[in-house]
Amino acid sequence: MERSQQKQIVEALIVAAGEPVSAARLAEIVPGLDASDVAGLVAELRGEYEAQGRALEIWEVAGGYQLRTAASVAPYLRLLHRERAVRLTRAALETLAVIAYRQPVTRAEIERVRGVDAGPVLKSLVDRKLVRIAGHREVPGRPLVYATTKRFLETFGLPKLDDLPTLREVEELLPPPEGAAASVTPLDADTGEAIEPSPPPSELH
Amino acid sequence: MHETGTPAAVGSASSATCAIKLDLFEGPLDLLLHLIRENEMDVAELPVSEVADQYVAYLDVMQELQLDIAAEYLVMAATLTWIKSRLLLPPSDEGEEEEGPDPRAELVARLLEYERFKEAAEQLGEFTREGRDVFKAAVPEVAPTPEAEREIEVSLLALLDAFRKVLARVPAGPGLHEVEADRVTVYARMRAIMDQVGSFEGSLAFEQLFDTPGGERPSRALVVATFLALLELVRVSALRVYQGMREDGVPAGPIRLRRSDEGADEWRRRIAEDPREVEGL
């Protein structure tokens, strides 16, 4: 298939998908397209959008490509999407930061870092699907552990977790929290059922 | 009141305002960090003697304003007081002072740790955020078929059965004093059904067809005309009638109606051409 035709289809797929769509998925659908060529095609599309001054951009987030509106038109979209505004309090951001860098992490560990009760914030983050219950820590009491979700990556425009900026190192490193090394029984992201045997819990794409 | 500057910022009358001001701090660690900064000191040095007093003064103000002080703040006040007293104790003679850990060490470690995450959170807050700074181009969702709607088309028999149940609930007929009943025509009911189905995303339950605007019991004439109208709409393919299906393929659950796109277009054309439309039947 002609490269120009492949590009056209890739563009259509990214537009129609809404959610981030991975290079592998695109290659699967577009005849004769290799996953390694996807980045090149996307780069061309980006170039075209930019040259034409379009309001659209293709972002690489949460392990895939997603079409988004340019930041320059955000004020107008905020008026359009009033109910969708993603407001996060400082408490929510701090809790997210602890989970993002320490996952899988228990509520007690989050509270130890922040020095305050984490319950309500955790609930709201789980409700907003930025955080999920990833399983149990295999220590007495089997506390739940929390991890970030794909939605988290999408919301913050991160291709993958490794793209978080590194946490500033400090001279005084705390000893790892008790039981942090204990194994975790992961829960299925959809059903909440325990998955056995346990794959690594941070299977974020 | 101790002079810290911060309590003054809190000193407003309404409790609503106070609650907002209090939100400036995310907890005792955050408040402590703030006080250390105010004193232009280093976290690692943790100037306990200064900070402990200011911290307690802050809690006093909160109390004066009759704010609920979270238990965590009180625990921290106790910790600070304890550390302060430890630091004031004269070192014991027996060389122990060399070995004893700095009572501040653990708190300093926690403060540094918290500070890292506080910075990380600030960074996170400045990230370009989907839903705030950029928006995903939202193509209307192609709704996946919910599992309850694995449907089959309903047989005429099932439809008749449902109709009998509805009919059984309405009065047998006009009483002796026949008040001028609503003039119900099949054609008008056909239009009403199409309006009703058209205003629904997805499907409409069979029973809803017989709902009256006021919620009163439908007349027998209305029920009959409605049912005939339904049959006619199915015949001209403007509507399809479905029922859920169990795992084993047996029809089950409520009967539902759905517009059939090609037939509905045809129907609209017919309405447009039909003179009765103008008469407003």
Task: Give tens-digit pLDDT for B234-245.
Answer: 877 778 787 776
Given a cut of 60, whether residue B99 has pLDDT beyond it is no
Structural tokens at position B252: 């089950």
β-pairing, A131-137 vs A184-186, is: antiparallel
pLDDT at A99: 96
Most trustworthy range by pLDDT among A24-28, A166-170, B242-246: A24-28
Position B91 confidence tier, pLDDT thresholds 50, 70, 90: low
pLDDT at A199: 39
Mutate to test the interface with B, among A86, A172, A190 (most CBs of B within 10 A): A172
Handedness of CA A97, A98, A101, A107 (dihedral sign): negative
Mean pLDDT for all residues in chain A: 83
Provide CB contacts within 8 A for A68, sequence distance 6+. A56, A57, A58, A59, B130, B134, B135, B136, B137
DSSP tag of B199 = T
Mean pLDDT for all residues in chain B: 73
CA separation for the pair B258, B240 (Å, rounded): 5
pLDDT at A29: 92
Q: Among A26-35, B42-51, B195-204, which stretch is predicted with the lowest mean pLDDT? A: B195-204
Neighbours of B24 (CB within 10 A): 13
Q: By the 8 A CB rule, do B43 and B37 touch?
A: no
Q: By the 8 A CB rule, do B241 and B153 touch?
A: yes
> Is the pTM higher than 0.80?
no
Q: By the 8 A CB rule, do B149 and B257 touch?
A: no
* Minimum CA–CA partner of A166 in chain B: B120
Q: Is the ipTM of this complex over 0.95?
A: no
CB A116 to CB B127 under 8 A? no
Position B196 confidence tier, pLDDT thresholds 50, 70, 90: confident
Compare CB distances from B125 to A88, A114, A174 and report the shortest one's residue. Answer: A88
CA separation for the pair B187, B207 (Å, rounded): 19
Task: Report the candidate in A32, A39, A31 with the shortest Cα–Cα distance to residue A14.
Answer: A39
Instruction: List the A131-137 sheet strands across, edge first.
Output: A105-106, A144-148, A131-137, A184-186
The residue to which tokens 């907002």 are assigned: B20
CA angle, A11 then A15 then A21, to 5°: 85
The residue to which tokens 């659908």 are assigned: A29
DSSP tag of B201 = S
The phi, psi pair for A189, rounded to 5°, reads -65, -25
Q: pLDDT higher for A197 or B140? A: B140
pLDDT at B148: 41
Compare CB distances from A115 to B114, B125, B141 and report the shortest one's residue. Answer: B114
